[in-house]
Amino acid sequence: MTKFYSIGRLAFAAVAFPALAHAEAHFDPATRTFRLDGGQTSYVFGVNSAGALQSLYWGPQLAASDTLKAVTPPDLSGFDPSSSITPQEYPGWGGPLYTEPALKLAYPDGVRDVVLTFRSGRADGNSITVEMSDIRQPLNVSLLYTIDPSTGIVGRSAIIRNETKATVRIDQAFSAAWSLPPQNDYHLHYLTGRWAAEWTLQDRALTQGATVIESRRGSTGMQANPWFAIDRAGISTEENGPVWFGALAWSGSWRISVDRDPLGDVRVAGGFNPFDFAYQLKPGESLETPVFYGGYSNQGMGGASRLLHRFEITNILPQKPEPKLRPVLYNSWEATEFAVDEKGQMALAEKAARIGVERFVMDDGWFGARNSDHAGLGDWTVNPAKFPNGLKPLIDKVHSLGMEFGLWVEPEMVNPDSELYRAHPDWVMNFPGRPRSEGRNQLVLNLARPDVRDYILRAMDDLLSKNDIQFLKWDYNRNWSEPGWPEVDSQSQPEIYVTYVKNLYGLMTELRRRHPKLEIEDCSGGAGRVDLGILSLTDQVWASDNTDPFDRLSIQDGFTHAYAPGVMMDWVTDSPNWVNNRSTSLNYRFLSAMQGGLGIGANLNKWSDAEFTDATRLVAAYKHVRKTVQQGDLYRLIRPEDPSGRFATFYVSPDKRQAVLFAFLHSSTKLDQQPAIQVRGLDPQKAYRVRPVESASGAESQTQSGAYWMGHGVEVPMTGDFQAKGLVFEGQ
């Protein structure tokens, strides 16, 4: 017997599905219902009687016997027609539709109406493909869905195919629209920032109206990141309650619109930013959107980020599913800035090797006429005054010290004062006759042009073929302006927003293919281009130019809401810090930086013997816990806004045999008590020996059960200003 249920306008009928595997995609042709199950999550949608693809369920996993069926809602009024109040998976802007469309386009005869209806669908393994078509034209859309068996994260994208006989202008192409069950208490979380202050977590009640987060800058941007999380006020906490979250895998201009309509329905839609966008889709051509990933956790924001971290490690990063651990690196930037030369870098390399650094990276200043940020970008040849014998002597030296060699590049940019720009002034994006606005004295090369793409590929390939380089720090130090592409017809010029980014991905893919051992760090003046798209081609991320270890606590806290600690590079630099003149101990700086991939960016020429000794001990301590930090489960125990002035993170290895606690105190006030810190995620039955992170001897250790450390907590007394402690938990 089939039972019918109705919750508001979401009506569904029970039809039995076959028993579920760990991850499964299923299509029931009888009810025209699709269902994805993976991790702890189910995602269900179906075809309604109007042929629209209707969202039915996204949340905790349903029983195998539970099923849903799309029921077309009736018009609510003349102002709220059925098509507009149906939560649609991929609405075209056509017919009566007042919500955010996923697709908006114009046919050459001026018709700007696209109504997508279901044609066919198939499920295969953990994927679903749905074919949709416009009601009047062979304008076809394939909707692709995949669910990850372990995390239940669903990846969604669309391929728009023009099978008409004429060119169609696409004005808006999103990857997906997500619907949440109507609730009154949703809170939206997203990340904003600016240079040297990235990764600020925003939190706002999802009241009626739209919240748009986006970049119009040509790249991902640090002003907003293409990630969101929605939880329920009063129900969801850091460790409990429902959280729906998503992240867009696109490194160009993007938009995510989170809309709560007057009926209470919540929709999240995102993809290419429609601002200044147009894509001429010729007959026979197709346009593929980026992938928009979405997931659900019932373990609060902490659970949501742990799912995302696991997903990034196993599904996104270039070395997925088991990326190598991040080596401890040294970077020359804060020590020498542009004043790099063979002798100076060799001296730094020797000192870096002494403390256990595994990868030596020479930053900006080694090429062309690059003595400041005014000249040289684009000329990827070694500066003969600084390196009279090329890079080989330095690289050999670094290798002889047992370290890998890495180099800074900024391939997509050019200084007007460069050989490249003098030879090819037409290679930058520009509108003829208009100013070419500079940012950091540089212009953006138009990577959408095949000749520019080929030049950059040649220049980088040459560098990597002629020199034994294991690592590139790939920088990108401004956003776009005047994004003209005068070599193509005026209607096609806005395609730069898509073609540029696809060529960037192609370039990195080809470089990695030609140089399989190469690793790349994603940098954009800090974290100006971090997203799941670039992360599939880069192994690690420069999280911020702000290296102050206290500021970094909140920066890193924001970062880890969306991205794994294993890709987040944090450096120990000099004190007082250049950002704010704050002085902190070497120990504090290390413990702050050890919460991700550890780097050293200090001027080692100024270090005392005692600093070398301490740093050597702390680098060794880091290596002992780095697998847990980089690939374990992160629990944010005390968040930066906590009134106690304390901050604490806890990392647990997936097998729960090791954990590490990082605790910080801003300043002690009066004689305030500091309660024990209750850790999370341990095996309650297992005994854990707890000792300071930097003392391997165990002299100060204490052994108790996981239940004790989680229930009673661990005492971490700290007094004074900018104090830090690290504790390792070793399962016995």
Cβ nearer to ligand GLA, comparing 36 with 413:
413
In the complex, least distance from residue 488 CB atom to ligand GLA, rounded to whole angstroms: 31
523 binds ligand GLA per the rule CB under 6 A: yes
Report yes or no: 689 and 729 within 8 Å, Cβ to Cβ: yes
Where b means 16+ CB within 10 Å and e means fewer, 283-317 reads: eeeebbbbbbbbbbbbbbbbbbbbbbbbbbbbbbb
Binding region for ligand GLA (CB under 6 A) out of 3-11, 441-449, 505-513, 521-529: 521-529
Give the β-pairing of 186-194 and 224-232: antiparallel
Question: 384 to each of 54, 201, 368, 370, 389, how far by Cα in Å?
Answer: 64, 46, 8, 11, 7
Q: Which residue in the block uniquely carries the two structure tokens 């890495």?
A: 406
In the complex, least distance from residue 365 CB atom to ligand GLA, rounded to whole angstroms: 8
Cβ nearer to ligand GLA, comparing 363 with 551:
363
Q: How many CB atoms lie within 10 A of CB 31?
A: 19
Give the β-pairing of 186-194 and 139-147: unpaired
Distance CA(111)–CA(126), nearest Å, equals 37
In the complex, least distance from residue 544 CB atom to ligand GLA, rounded to whole angstroms: 8
In the complex, least distance from residue 529 CB atom to ligand GLA, rounded to whole angstroms: 11
Binding region for ligand GLA (CB under 6 A) out of 391-399, 518-526, 602-610, 685-693: 518-526
Cross-strand partners of 425: none
Question: 600 to each of 20, 482, 576, how far by Cα in Å?
Answer: 49, 38, 15
Cβ nearer to ligand GLA, comparing 87 with 601:
601
DSSP string over 221-242: -SSEEEEEEEEETTT--SSSB-
Cβ nearer to ligand GLA, comparing 312 with 363:
363
In the complex, least distance from residue 177 CB atom to ligand GLA, rounded to whole angstroms: 35
Distance CA(491)–CA(104), nearest Å, equals 16
Binding region for ligand GLA (CB under 6 A) out of 9-17, 204-212, 398-406, 519-527: 519-527
542 binds ligand GLA per the rule CB under 6 A: yes
Cβ nearer to ligand GLA, comparing 242 with 406:
406
In the complex, least distance from residue 333 CB atom to ligand GLA, rounded to whole angstroms: 5
* Contacts (CB under 6 A) with ligand GLA, residues 311-370: 333, 363-364
Please state the length of the chain: 732
In the complex, least distance from residue 159 CB atom to ligand GLA, rounded to whole angstroms: 35
**Residues acting as catalytic residues:** 475, 545
265 binds ligand GLA per the rule CB under 6 A: no
DSSP string over 11-38: EEE--PPPPP-SSEEEEETTTTEEEEEE
Binding region for ligand GLA (CB under 6 A) out of 143-151, 294-302, 520-528, 692-700: 520-528
Distance CA(515)–CA(533), nearest Å, equals 20
**Which of 94, 155, 323, 525 is in the footprint of ligand GLA by CB under 6 A?**
525
Q: Where are the alpha helices (DSSP H) in 253-359?
A: 300-311, 333-336, 342-354
Cβ nearer to ligand GLA, comparing 535 with 718:
535
* Contacts (CB under 6 A) with ligand GLA, residues 470-499: 475, 477
Q: 3-class SS at 604?
A: helix
Report yes or no: 596 and 556 within 8 Å, Cβ to Cβ: yes
Cα 489 from chain centre: 34
Distance CA(423)–CA(404), nearest Å, equals 34
The residues near 698 (Cβ < 8 Å, ≥ 6 apart) are 689, 691
Cβ nearer to ligand GLA, comparing 91 with 599:
599
Cβ nearer to ligand GLA, comparing 545 with 730:
545
Tokens of 23: 């991850």
In the complex, least distance from residue 364 CB atom to ligand GLA, rounded to whole angstroms: 4
378 binds ligand GLA per the rule CB under 6 A: no
Distance CA(458)–CA(444), nearest Å, equals 18
In the complex, least distance from residue 347 CB atom to ligand GLA, rounded to whole angstroms: 20
For ligand GLA, how many residues bind (rule: CB under 6 A)? 11
CA angle 603, 409, 312 (to 5 degrees): 90
Report yes or no: 501 and 533 within 8 Å, Cβ to Cβ: yes
* Contacts (CB under 6 A) with ligand GLA, residues 224-253: none
- Which residue's beta carbon is nearest to the bound ligand GLA? 364
Amino acid sitting at position 224: A
Distance CA(251)–CA(192), nearest Å, equals 16
The residues near 489 (Cβ < 8 Å, ≥ 6 apart) are none
**Which of 408, 427, 485, 622 is in the footprint of ligand GLA by CB under 6 A?**
408
Query: x/- contact string, 543-582, with ligand GLA (CB under 6 A)?
Result: --x-------------------------------------
**Which of 526, 533, 597, 645 is in the footprint of ligand GLA by CB under 6 A?**
526
Distance CA(547)–CA(554), nearest Å, equals 12
In the complex, least distance from residue 515 CB atom to ligand GLA, rounded to whole angstroms: 21
Q: Which residue in the block uniquely carries the two structure tokens 């373990």?
A: 299
658 binds ligand GLA per the rule CB under 6 A: no
Cβ nearer to ligand GLA, comparing 220 with 477:
477
Q: Any idea what DSSP says for residue 312?
A: I
In the complex, least distance from residue 577 CB atom to ligand GLA, rounded to whole angstroms: 14
Cβ nearer to ligand GLA, comparing 107 with 476:
476
The DSSP H or E segment spanning 613 is helix 609-631
Cross-strand partners of 664: 647, 724
Cβ nearer to ligand GLA, comparing 167 with 603:
603
Footprint of ligand GLA (CB under 6 A):
333, 363-364, 408, 475, 477, 523, 525-526, 542, 545
